[in-house]
Each structure stands twice: as structure tokens, then as C-alpha cells.
A and B are shown apart, each in its own frame.
Chain A
Amino acid sequence: MAQFTTLSARQVALPINDIDTDQIIPAQFLKVTDKNGLGQVVFHSWRFLEDGSPNPDFVLNQPVAQGAQILLAGDNFGCGSSREHAPWALTGFGFRAVISTSFADIFRNNALKNGLLPVVVDAPTHQMLFDLAEEAPQATLNIDLPSQTLTLPGGETVSFPIDGFNKACLLNGTDEIGYVLGFEAQIKAFEARNF
């Protein structure tokens, strides 16, 4: 599994609430049998015009997005379908963390399994980050998973919550399937008890 410890990167802001997985990766791109290449079509409907050319008004097509590894999004990011293609597309573009006030449950799980860190912040911090994106688009944010902190360029530090097990998995690159396979005896016993 992909690891995550620290990240020092620029952010790109999408100040839209309830961004659903159909926007992150439209269904037409789900006909794949591998995980590759989806970064090129992330946010496809917003990112490209009818004729297929990049929409210059969309932030991912602007210079600020080049090399940005943190996506700052509105409330309730990732609602909708269970498609893991959403984090595959986001990481394919180069994102390693998404900051929002909340995440949809299935998206959060899928993101964690792909080394894409969902960072939950409170509303004032959220607003401060959007302001920062406007005023200093080149500013670098620092995310430190061991201490669960997000540090702004001015030195302000906020902490963010994360499930302890998920944190350990990200820090160690734990293979979760391997972890569950380790309980073979218990699974066998469960089956013997119940079936």
C-alpha cells in the first residue's frame, strides 16, 4: 500500500461543496480494466470544453495547478458512487492530499487505500486556506502525518483527526489484505461456528 508521512506542497482550490465522484471521474472513463491514465481525465467535464480543448477557466488548467499536490475542496468531498477510480484519478494527476471539512464515507476509505490523505479541517481553517489560495497561490503547505498537523506558510499550525489504524497503515505502508489474511485461524473458526 502507498505510504504517507509528510508532504510539503502547494494547494489548488476548488471552492465547491458536495463535489461528487461523477465530477472527479465521469462514468465514461470507468470502462478500464487497470488503474492507469485516469489522471489525464480527472474532473473531465469541468476541465475540457466541448471540442476537447482544455477549459482555460478551470483551475487545474492554470499554471498554479502545475505541481500542486494538495487539493482544497468544499464541504462533503467525494459524495456519490463507490468508484475507486476517483482516488486513482486524483493521485494520477499528482494529488497526495485533499483538504475539506468533511468527506463521504466510501471516498474516504478508497482514498486512504491509495495513499491519498483526507485532511479534515474546521470551517475557519477551511476559509483561511481558501483565502490563502487567492492571496498567495504559490504558498507551500506542510502536512505532517505523524503529528497530524497542517502548517500554513505563516507558521500557523492546525491539527487534523485521523483514525489511528489508518494512520499506522499509511505510515508503515501496511498491506491491509495481508493484515486480514493473518487472521485465517479466526476466520476459519468463525465459519465453523456459523455455517
Chain B
Amino acid sequence: MSRTLFEKIWDAHVVTQEPDSPAVLYIDLHLVHEVTSPQAFTGLRSRGLKVRRPERTVATMDHGIPTTPLDVPIADQLAAHQIKTLETNTSEFGVRLYGMHSEHRGIVHVIGPELGFTQPGMTIVCGDSHTSTHGAFGALAFGIGTSEVEMVLATQCLLQRKPKTCEVRVDGQLAAGVSSKDIILALIAKIGVGGGTGYVFEYTGSAIRGLTMEQRMTICNMSIEGGARAGMIAPDDATIEYVAGREFAPKGAAWDAAIARWRGLPSDDGATYDSSIVLDAAALEPMITYGTNPGMGMRITERVPDPANLGDANQKLALEKALNYMDLRPGQPLLGKKVDVVFIGSCTNSRISDLRLAAGLLKGRKVADGLRVMVVPGSQDVKKQAEQEGLDTVFKEAGAEWREAGCSMCIAMNGDQLQPGQYAVSTSNRNFEGRQGKGGRTFLASPLTAAATALTGTITDVRTLI
């Protein structure tokens, strides 16, 4: 019987399932960070349990960590305590930690793939909704809560009902200046932030096949912003080439066996999905959000929608509330809108290819007067690579800040944040009220749009600069 990529991975990981009960699903890789794990370790300790599979558990600190050099103590006492707690917990329970001073430290969804932990066919979880990122490798990867973190630490399993599947087919060729971030922002604008609830997305089609692994990660990363806990892309040559040779990738005979397994993962001909969505890549333009959730997005050349044109009373109210928070008027264009900050970073867009794109535009130019431009690499390895390529010099000479790795202003837990009322163009994943700092206003966009905006100080269509 024909099966989808998701079904193959699901079937291969069901340990057992009692009648009328959820499946006990085996978890191959558990990623852990400082914010959603302390209470789970406390629970483990109070039960007198060990971490069942420490070798399948990988920890790092990313959310609360400063992006200034770490040679001085962390000023925020709460953040410092939380980071210290992760050090204590991982040490006590024998879990591998990429700690404060590790050269491989970084955002958990950047370092997992980078170090070769993330592999096709795996089940991967983390107490973080952007775990969907790892689905780019043909893995089933999704975010979990802290109670579930405790369950996985204790049992290496999760209780799960089988979700429904949705094929998101994207065919055609992207135009110049349009990137994978625009594909996912266009999808979420089309389906809304709850459109994928209950589903796992599988992205298919020629436009997806044509993307690099880093571009694929950007798409899968934001699946959760459309409500889908997981987004997946079938592994192919690009996937295998990316994983090959990484520190924790299989080696020798195990590598050959792994490739043979991975080649069997793509959905079979004739496999069916519970639902489907189609996007035409050629028709896409650079996207930007105007509101307070990632579904409130539009083509950058469009005008802010008018609540009066919405039939549904609740949607009307939501849009009015969002425009009020954003201090935007119906019918207003966003092109030319002055911003205060440009943030290039986050688990969505902080990898080397994102930084290369941004640096390509900024090279030999200056960022606009009075504008704060922050460039935050996704990991210390990305930072090192960028510095070897001289990208740091490009950013610094342009007048941008070149910082240490971390989640930074995407979640604004570490002091990197907007001031009330400020506007930012951000390559991150959420434009919720206050997400980047209380009272801050976020426009989500691609690294190209962010870099173009950095040059002019106003929201800019990158196609006018290339």
C-alpha cells in the first residue's frame, strides 16, 4: 500500500498502541534548551528517574543568552540562573551540552542540522515550537511542552495521536528577489495561523525540490505559524549532500546503510493526503506582514487591508485591533514606511546563506542614518564561517551590529529588544504584540527585504535594488 513520507516515519516509530489510546511513539532525537527544561528535570529528580537515553539528548542555551561577548557574567540574574540550571541538570543527568563557551553553541534548530544530529527518517522533538525546522530533512519533528519534555527524558517516548496529512505543493520558478521565506509567508497569509491545525504538512513540487537545505529549513520552520506542528520535505540528493561528513552523521558502512534507508522515505506514487494546498511559485512576490500574527501578510507592493472589507465580524475586529497596535491605516502602502530597527537572525533566517544574501546587498554600502541594524548569526559555527568569508567586515563597515549567536530579538528574552512604539523589519517568525519587546511593532520579511530596508531605512522592495 502506498504511504506518505509521514506515514513511513510514523509507522517505523510506533512502539505500541493500546486500543482507543494514543500511540507510544519512539523519539530518536531530543533537543533541549534552558527555558522549557528546568521543570522537566525537577520532575525527573522527584520521581527518582534517569534520562533514559542521554546519547539521544542534546542540550544548548539559546533563548536567554546575551549576544554580546560572553567574557563577562550575564547581568540578568534570572537568565543567568536558568542557564546555570541547565548546566547543572545536564551535568547531573549525563546529557551532552553545547554550553556558554562551546564553539558549537547556537540556536538549537541551527546546531542540530549543522552538527549532523538531524537526519532523515528520524523523530525529533524539543520544547520549542520551531522544532518543525528539522522536517526539512525528511524527519518528523515537532515542538512539545515541558510535561512532554519530562516524558521523553524519562521514557524516550511520547504519547501521540496520529495527525492528519496535508500536501503543500509549490511548483514553478521563483522570480529574482523572491525567496523561500516568501513562499512560507505567502502560504500562511493564504491559510491563516490556524489553517494547519491538526495537520502535518509535506511540502512538494518543483519549487521545493529546487531549494537548498537552508532554504527548506526556513519553510519547515514556520509551518507552526500556519498551525501545523510539523512540516516535512522528502530527502533527496541535496539532503544527503548536506548531512554527509557532519560530525554526528553516520560514517562508513553505517552511512551507506543510512542512504539506502533514506532513499526509501519519499512518499510513494499514489500515496494520498487528507488535504492539499497548491501555490504557484512563479506568481509569488516578496512578502511582508502588516499585522500582529504571521497570517496577516501581503505582497510588499500591496496596501494594508481595510477591516471594512471583511465580512466576518471577528476577523474585522482582529484586523482593527492589529492595525491599532501597529498604528497603521487601512489602504496605506508599507513601501516607504520608516522603520527603527532591522533584525537579521532567528532560527528562521540566521544561517550562512541568509547572511551571504544580506551581505551581498550591503557590501560597499551604508545602512540608513539613525537605523539600528542587528545581524545575529544562528550559531557560533555560522559566525566563524561568516568571519572567514569576511561577511562580518561587510556588516560592520555598512554600520550594522555583528553579534554573538542566539535567539536574540526574535523572542527578546536576553535584553535585545525593541522599545515601545518602534518598528522593525525582522527576518524572524513571529510578529505577535510585544514579541520583540513590549510595545514593539514587527514586520516579518525575508533577509533580502531586511537588507534592502537596512540600506534605505524604509520598507523597500529588494527588486528595485537588484
Determine the distance from Cα of A109 to Cα of B36 in the docked complex, in whole angstroms. 15
Contact A82 B151 (CB under 8 A): no
Interchain Cβ contacts within 8 Å, total number: 172
Determine the distance from Cα of A104 to Cα of B294 in the docked complex, in whole angstroms. 14
Contact B229 A106 (CB under 8 A): yes
Contact A180 B39 (CB under 8 A): no
Contact B145 A110 (CB under 8 A): yes
Contact B194 A183 (CB under 8 A): no
CB-CB under 8 A from B411, the residues of chain A are 27
Contact A181 B155 (CB under 8 A): yes
Tell me whether B157 is interfacial, beta carbon within 8 Å.
yes
B228 to A: closest C-beta gap in Å: 8
Tell me whether B7 is interfacial, beta carbon within 8 Å.
no
8 A Cβ contacts from B1-47 to A: 15-16, 20-22, 24, 26, 35-36, 38-39, 42-43, 47
User: Beta-carbon contacts of A18-31 to B below 8 Å, as 1s and 0s?
Assistant: 10101100111011
Tell me whether B463 is interfacial, beta carbon within 8 Å.
no
Chain A residue with the shortest CB-CB distance to B37: A33
Q: Tell me which of B78-86, B390-398, B443-451 binds A.
A: B78-86
A50 to B: closest C-beta gap in Å: 7
CB-CB under 8 A from A156, the residues of chain B are none
Q: Tell me which of A56-64, A71-79, A132-140, A147-155 binds B.
A: A71-79
Tell me whether B293 is interfacial, beta carbon within 8 Å.
yes
Tell me whether B458 is interfacial, beta carbon within 8 Å.
no
Q: Tell me which of B168-176, B312-320, B361-369, B377-385 binds A.
A: B312-320
Q: Tell me which of B96-104, B211-219, B240-248, B428-436 binds A.
A: B428-436
Chain A residue with the shortest CB-CB distance to B154: A177
Tell me whether B60 is interfacial, beta carbon within 8 Å.
no
Tell me whether B266 is interfacial, beta carbon within 8 Å.
no
CB-CB under 8 A from A30, the residues of chain B are 35, 63, 413
Determine the distance from Cα of A23 to Cα of B433 in the docked complex, in whole angstroms. 7
User: B157: which of A17, A79, A187 is its contact (CB, 8 Å)?
Assistant: A187
Contact A163 B161 (CB under 8 A): yes
Contact B147 A18 (CB under 8 A): no
A107 to B: closest C-beta gap in Å: 8
B318 to A: closest C-beta gap in Å: 5
Tell me whether B420 is interfacial, beta carbon within 8 Å.
yes
Q: A22-B434, A34-B38, A180-B151 are in contact. Are A105 and B198 (CB under 8 A)?
A: yes
Contact B314 A17 (CB under 8 A): yes
Determine the distance from Cα of A26 to Cα of B430 in the docked complex, in whole angstroms. 13
Contact B194 A75 (CB under 8 A): yes
Contact B145 A82 (CB under 8 A): yes
8 A Cβ contacts from A48-104 to B: 50, 74-76, 79-84, 102-104
Number of interface residues of A (CB under 8 A): 50
Determine the distance from Cα of A16 to Cα of B412 in the docked complex, in whole angstroms. 24
Contact A102 B194 (CB under 8 A): yes
Contact A76 B193 (CB under 8 A): yes
Tell me whether B156 is interfacial, beta carbon within 8 Å.
yes
Contact A31 B82 (CB under 8 A): yes
Tell me whether A125 is interfacial, beta carbon within 8 Å.
no
Tell me whether B159 is interfacial, beta carbon within 8 Å.
yes
Contact A186 B15 (CB under 8 A): yes
Contact B155 A80 (CB under 8 A): no
CB-CB under 8 A from A84, the residues of chain B are 36, 39, 127, 145-147
8 A Cβ contacts from B283-342 to A: 293, 295, 314-315, 317-318, 321
A42 to B: closest C-beta gap in Å: 14
Most buried by B among A22, A76, A79: A79
Tell me whether B406 is interfacial, beta carbon within 8 Å.
no
CB-CB under 8 A from B43, the residues of chain A are 177
Tell me whether A176 is interfacial, beta carbon within 8 Å.
yes
Chain B residue with the shortest CB-CB distance to A48: B438
Q: A45-B434, A50-B420, A104-B194 are in contact. Are A80 and B129 (CB under 8 A)?
A: yes
Chain B residue with the shortest CB-CB distance to A87: B145
Tell me whether A15 is interfacial, beta carbon within 8 Å.
yes
Contact B145 A106 (CB under 8 A): yes
CB-CB under 8 A from A20, the residues of chain B are 193, 293, 430, 432
CB-CB under 8 A from A33, the residues of chain B are 38-39, 42, 81-82, 85
Contact B317 A177 (CB under 8 A): no
Contact B24 A22 (CB under 8 A): no
Q: A103-B197, A106-B145 are in contact. List 5 more A-B contacts (CB 8 A).
A: A22-B435, A76-B197, A79-B293, A104-B227, A180-B151
Which residues of B line the A interface, CB within 8 A? 15-16, 20-22, 24, 26, 35-36, 38-39, 42-43, 47, 63-64, 76, 78-79, 81-82, 85, 127-129, 131, 142-148, 150-151, 154-157, 159, 161, 163, 192-194, 197-198, 224, 227, 229, 293, 295, 314-315, 317-318, 321, 411-413, 420, 430, 432-435, 438
Which residues of A line the B interface, CB within 8 A? 15-18, 20, 22-23, 26-28, 30-35, 45, 50, 74-76, 79-84, 102-106, 109-110, 113-114, 163-165, 176-177, 179-181, 183, 186-187, 190-191, 194
Give 6 nearest A-B pairs by CB, closest first.
Answer: A76-B194, A110-B145, A31-B78, A84-B145, A82-B143, A33-B38
A-B pairs with beta carbons under 8 Å apart, 15 shown? A18-B193, A20-B432, A22-B430, A23-B434, A26-B434, A28-B438, A31-B64, A33-B85, A79-B293, A84-B127, A84-B146, A113-B147, A165-B159, A180-B24, A183-B15
